[in-house]
Structure 1
Amino acid sequence: MKQRADISYMLFLAVTAAVGGLLFGYDTAVISGTVELVTARFGLDSLQQGWYVGCALAGSVAGVLCAGVLSDRLGRRRTMLVSAVLFTVSAVGCALCADFTQLVVYRIVGGLGIGVVSIVSPLYISEVSAARRRGMLVSFYQLAVTMGFLAAYTVNYLLLRMGQTAGFETAWVQRIFVDEVWRGMLGAETLPALLFFVIIFFIPESPRWLALRGRTDRALRVLGRINGDRAEAAAELAAIETAVGGGQTPQWRLLLSKGIRTAVLVGTAIAILGQFMGVNAVLYYGPSIFERAGWSGSDSLFAQILVGAVNMLTTVLALAIIDRVGRKKLVYWGVSGMALSLLLIGTCFLTGERLGLPDGVLLAAFLCYVFCCAISVCAVVWVLLSEMYPIRVRGVAMSIAGFSLWTGTYLVGQLTPWMLANLTPAGTFFLFAAMCVPYMLLIWKAVPEMSGRTLEEIERYWTR
């Protein structure tokens, strides 16, 4: 019974924090169905179109820089509340904006929310999870991200179909859901953002943050609830206090110490290289890429729904096996499949029309790529980043890695239209395939297997 209470309570905490991932996924992916509509509405050129896609990513970069400091000073829980407010303001503002400048401003606000929640939600889940289930529970965050992707693709598709047939008597409703349906797509995020804000009040603060701040009594109570056994909780608290070393605030100078510096550099490299293997190009520009292959607008959005469904279902599989198979093996097999799929996609664009390949071949290659990516890089990256840093620098170190990740994401989002136009779709996907090689080499040479280790044991690995 104690073990059941332990599992159910950890699941409750993980799922609650993972709602931030759903908002992350929705806000990130909803853009894919609005690019062409917003471009037509405001007469954007290719650079302005790239800025529309990339402005939220610029906000995300700023958000991750603030997230570490906020989470270390305010606590993980309060920082999640901040992100919920940012998402709500962004969604309402995008639905009601008066011009393109206002739209960009509100997208940047949403990007701030993405940056903050991308650090603090997996960090919180990692700190409230038992070692034997940490990979699975942190993967709930990635599962929620994929659910956000799928929700965004589905809402985009349904609202676009509704806008072609429906009519409303109220002028502002007609404008948001029919005349300028992209407003409804962006504004639909309001409901899950408000839900996230409310449910955060039902979870406790991270016990490791409480211990870091010297609030050991509260930390012990939370650990007792998580472990279901007070003696086990006391032993875990003692290990945390040993790791803290008596310090109640993060020690920035530790970032430059030999072992921690290595961990930070490795995490930064993992974060940025992962963005140059094409996943965000598919998520942001999927419909545009399918339209370049000759598909209609509605067919392109429907294909993107299939991409989102495969992404989510594969993440469920990754969640079930990540602690059994291990982080590194998932990356080896998954990234190898990504490289082969990207080569096939590039070949389809290079020779598809000349050889008369059916559209299903291109779609199958995309879905295979998404499967391989979801079961490896997407499932593993946030788990690795949330567990590889010592407690006294965890928030700041994750912000550094997150800054690297979102910088890479911004560059890919900004440059993809240019690459598709100048390198051609085939050249773009061949480039993404080539970037899989250094990523696998980095994981092989520099990253230890962390499955089954406590956070304190991982810390000792880097500082041994």
Structure 2
Amino acid sequence: MHAQAIAPTAAHPKATVVFTCVLAALAGLMFGLDIGVIAGATQFIQAEFKVGDHTIEWIVSAMMFGAAVGALFAGWLSATLGRKRSLILGALLFVLGSLLCGLAWSPASLIAARVVLGLAIGLATFTAPLYLAEVAPEHIRGAMISTYQLMITIGILVAFLSDTALSYSGAWRWMLGVIAVPGALFLLGVLLLPDSPRWLMMRGRREEALGVLRRLRGDAEVVAREAADIEEQLRTPQRGWHLFRENANFRRSVGLGVLLQLMQQFTGMNVVMYYAPRIFKEMGYDTAAQMWFTALVGLTNVLATFIAIALIDRWGRKPILYTGFAVMAAGLGVVGAMMHGGIVGHGEQIFTVAMLLVFIVGFAMSAGPLVWTLCSEIQPLKGRDFGIGCSTFTNWVCNMIVGFTFLSLLNGIGNAATFWLYAALNLLFIGLTFWLVPETRGVTLEQIERNLMAGRRLREIGR
């Protein structure tokens, strides 16, 4: 199905572009569901299969391993099949992996099913932000890409609520398997998407690309100018690996994308997403309270993401990152201090939960959506697939490390020191943001590329 799939809204280009971006961002919903669903299931999996914390770390982190592998191939698939067909493939794998998780008969089979899910997520996390960057006009690009992060948070919340409802019966198979239903709905929805006009141009399908641009932009002058910009850049074909070897400026943008994803993952956010019930257990709560507070974490994550969507194209990327990292460092620092002193009494429990929620707000308003936004903006067109592939691969490798080490850290250095470690990393990220991260608000992708290739310092390529 080509661009004509969205023809009924062609008379309203603003509505069309929002519809297209939101539907593509539903890939984030799939991602969020799978992040969230495992948190509530681990204690029941542990009880049924009679396994220890180390096996649980394998089950949790298997998805991230699959995602890292999926990210390695996502660039090639996105360039060859197109952004739309890559999203379709990701949806198919998501449905398959979800069903296999629900039917798992052993820890090994569950780990294998989680790897399949990871392949789907790795493909989607590469393709969706790339697609969004290519279809959204620059003046709302940040907000549209942030809808991807919003969908992740909504998916996490829905998964947490589902886990809470099913926790009373301990039905962990239903927790993991039921997310095949929204996966199937996403598969149907993504069939309505147009192909990326940039990808169509890359494949020599100019008339189709112009048709999509007309529906997405409406204004003939804007369409002509954007088409001309794309064609100018496409005179040299996509050669990411060659460009990486030959061009030091491109290596800088790839390195920045890798660093940004490392910063996002080592904030400690996914520690909370994967192990929230365990963290609340460390605070002294029983199973029912653990699940409801986990759902509250998901709700806070959703609501705070609206802060980023509201501010990203007004306030700018860097001020939001500074604020977010500072809030996260403060939140985790206080949680560590409370655990170090010993949490006694209901008042101290509630205060510690509140500070953990402050940390969640800091992430959801800053590093969560902004890192994906920046990674899609800083890579030049000719190496964009390669650059985003490298940063997405890094995301999942770091994500896997976080998922695979948290319980070991708790058992090794203690809960207070574990949270202090992540607080210290967030303070470090404030400095890295100042020295290396550019402000890209309101700047076209083409201008960012020109500044990068002219050799300007990374922090200045958005000027």
Q: Which bracket does the TM-score occupy, shorter chain normalised?
A: over 0.9
Contact between 2:11 and 2:215, CA under 8 Å: does it hold in 1? no
Query: Runs of 4+ in structure 1 displaced over 4 angstroms?
Result: 354-357
Contact between 1:25 and 1:148, CA under 8 Å: does it hold in 2? yes
State the partner residue of 2:339. 349
State the partner residue of 2:5. none
State the partner residue of 1:315. 305
Aligned equivalent of 1:21, options 18, 28, 35: 28
Cα drift, residue 246 of structure 1: 4.0
TM alignment of 1:56-205, pairs within 5 A = 56-161=63-168, 163=169, 181-205=171-195
**Paired residue type of 2:435:** K
- Report the 3-state secondary structure (helix = DSSP H, G, I; strand = E; otherwise coil) of the residue aligned with 1:353: coil
State the partner residue of 2:13. 6
Contact between 2:236 and 2:382, CA under 8 Å: does it hold in 1? no
- Report the 3-state secondary structure (helix = DSSP H, G, I; strand = E; otherwise coil) of the residue aligned with 2:327: helix
State the partner residue of 1:457. 447
Distance 1:432 1:251 in 2: 34
Contact between 2:39 and 2:275, CA under 8 Å: does it hold in 1? yes
Contact between 2:32 and 2:155, CA under 8 Å: does it hold in 1? yes
* TM-score normalised over the length of structure 1: 0.93
Distance 2:14 2:249 in 1: 33
**Paired residue type of 1:440:** I
State the partner residue of 2:329. 339
State the partner residue of 2:460. none
Percentage of pairs with the same residue: 35
**1:46 pairs with 2:53:** yes
State the partner residue of 1:444. 434
**Paired residue type of 1:25:** G
Structure 1 gap ranges (5+): 164-179
State the partner residue of 2:371. 381
State the partner residue of 2:6. none
Distance 1:181 1:416 in 2: 25
State the partner residue of 1:250. 239
- Report the 3-state secondary structure (helix = DSSP H, G, I; strand = E; otherwise coil) of the residue aligned with 1:349: helix
Aligned-CA RMSD value: 1.5
- Report the 3-state secondary structure (helix = DSSP H, G, I; strand = E; otherwise coil) of the residue aligned with 1:277: coil
Cα drift, residue 284 of structure 1: 0.5
Distance 2:239 2:166 in 1: 47
Distance 2:230 2:159 in 1: 40
Aligned equivalent of 2:212, options 222, 225, 243: 222
Superimposed CA distance per residue, residues 362-392 of structure 1 (whole angstroms, 9 cap, x where no aligned partner): 1100111101111010020111111111112
Distance 1:4 1:26 in 2: 34
Distance 2:415 2:347 in 1: 16
Contact between 1:26 and 1:152, CA under 8 Å: does it hold in 2? yes
Superimposed CA distance per residue, residues 245-304 of structure 1 (whole angstroms, 9 cap, x where no aligned partner): 242x43421123121110000110111122112100011011001112210111011001
**1:406 pairs with 2:413:** no
Distance 1:272 1:358 in 2: 33
Cα drift, residue 352 of structure 1: 3.3
Distance 2:428 2:106 in 1: 42
State the partner residue of 2:4. none
Distance 1:6 1:356 in 2: 53
Contact between 2:154 and 2:302, CA under 8 Å: does it hold in 1? yes
Contact between 1:348 and 1:357, CA under 8 Å: does it hold in 2? no
State the partner residue of 1:177. none
Superimposed CA distance per residue, residues 91-120 of structure 1 (whole angstroms, 9 cap, x where no aligned partner): 111112222221111111001111110110
Contact between 2:240 and 2:386, CA under 8 Å: does it hold in 1? no
**Paired residue type of 1:305:** A
Aligned equivalent of 1:395, options 359, 377, 385: 385
Distance 1:417 1:395 in 2: 35
Question: Using a 3 Å threshold, how does the CA distance of structure 1 residues 261 and 42 change in structure 2: closer, same or farther?
Answer: same
State the partner residue of 1:231. 221
Contact between 1:274 and 1:439, CA under 8 Å: does it hold in 2? no
Distance 1:447 1:214 in 2: 34
Distance 1:251 1:194 in 2: 33
- Report the 3-state secondary structure (helix = DSSP H, G, I; strand = E; otherwise coil) of the residue aligned with 1:125: helix
Distance 2:40 2:344 in 1: 29
Aligned equivalent of 2:413, options 412, 423, 445: 423
Superimposed CA distance per residue, residues 396-430 of structure 1 (whole angstroms, 9 cap, x where no aligned partner): 21110011111111001000000011111100000
**1:285 pairs with 2:292:** no
Contact between 1:54 and 1:410, CA under 8 Å: does it hold in 2? yes
Distance 1:407 1:327 in 2: 25
- Report the 3-state secondary structure (helix = DSSP H, G, I; strand = E; otherwise coil) of the residue aligned with 1:245: coil
Aligned residues: 445
Cα drift, residue 41 of structure 1: 0.9
Contact between 1:39 and 1:45, CA under 8 Å: does it hold in 2? yes
Contact between 1:273 and 1:408, CA under 8 Å: does it hold in 2? no
**Paired residue type of 1:459:** E
Distance 1:456 1:143 in 2: 26
Question: Using a 3 Å threshold, how does the CA distance of structure 1 residues 459 and 33 change in structure 2: closer, same or farther?
Answer: same
Distance 2:233 2:115 in 1: 37
State the partner residue of 1:172. none
- Report the 3-state secondary structure (helix = DSSP H, G, I; strand = E; otherwise coil) of the residue aligned with 2:102: helix
Contact between 2:240 and 2:384, CA under 8 Å: does it hold in 1? no
Structure 2 gap ranges (5+): 1-8, 455-463
Contact between 1:61 and 1:112, CA under 8 Å: does it hold in 2? yes
